[in-house]
Amino acid sequence: MAKVYELIIAGGGPAGITAAVYAARKKLDFVLVTRDIGGQAAWSGDIENYTGYQFVTGPELAVKFEEHARKYQFPIKENEGLISIEKENEIISINTGKARYSTKALIIASGKRSRELNVPGERELKNKGVAYCATCDGPLFAGKEVAVIGGGNSALDAALQMVKIAKKVYLVNNTPELGGDKVMRQKLEEAANVTIFNGSRVERINGEKFVTGIGISSGSVKKELELQGVFVEIGLLPNSEFAGIVKRNANDEIMVNNACETDIPGIFAAGDVTDVPEKQIIIAAGEGAKATLAAFKFLMRN
């Protein structure tokens, strides 16, 4: 008979790692199933608002998360993401494509992924100048000219990283003004090597073997920019396509109450994959802790 865990945690970002630390401290019989360790935190640049760190980079914080988690020596199934979830009687089963696991309780902490522009040339030139993570790929564009697409915090963060690396940074934002934190906007506006195009859209990404430029439009005015890199930072999509068993909102975020419970008993969700407002590392971590505490209470009652 296949093993039935008390708890499975799906996702290794801030929510999943924190949930796992709490599960380990509660001495639960559990496994962490994840595509990677760190999640979106590992993609972030400079972080100045995570309590306890006046300044830390995303990759550094992700390493700290992993070090903390591995201290407890619980099983981790890496390079595995959920494909489907089923529940029969009181047992929940998940399929990762590599294996099936069964459990009495499940925490979904699968996070979000980058939204694509869906313009000509984007998919053809992905990893050939088109990137979705300035922290990961920014150093490859040292001394080159790049564009950052977007106007929120993630775009501002990417642009601020590239200001230090690239020769020139174009920020293309489709709204009339930049969003994001005021302090980030000020830093960007003060940078000498940044040009901001507000109210502008990317029409296409040019290039054959590698990116050579982009075409943008602002109303009826069209412009061609010659550059070598494009960082797409226009928001995120929840990794919830496998979660048809639970209720989701119009944005495909998993709907939870204030105890991280979904509408299916025994299934909990935490972090950016949920409809909890404000997608922040510290909020995801807190939600992960709440989810495990709620799952522990559920297991004690059942």
So which residues are the catalytic ones? Answer: 133, 136-137
On the CB side of 171, how many CA atoms lie within 13 Å of its CA?
Answer: 30
- Give the helix ranges, DSSP H, for the chain: 14-25, 58-70, 134-137, 153-163, 182-190, 281-301
Task: Say which residues have a Cβ less than 8 Å from residue 182's Cβ, sequence separation at least 6.
Answer: none
Q: Which residues contact 30 (CB under 8 A, 6 or more apart)?
A: 5, 6, 7, 8, 9, 20, 23, 24, 74, 103
56 DSSP β-pair partners: 47
Contact 130, 136 (CB under 8 A): no
Which structure tokens are listed for 195? 């040009």
Read off φ and ψ for residue 101, nearest 5 degrees.
-130, 145
How far apart (Å, rounded) are the C-alpha atoms in residues 264 and 254?
11
- The single-letter code of the amino acid at 211 is V
Pairing mode, if any, of strands 201-207 and 194-197? Answer: unpaired
Pair 157, 216: CB distance under 8 Å:
no
Q: How many CB atoms within 10 Å of residue 39?
A: 30
Backbone angles phi, psi at 135, to 5 degrees: -65, -40
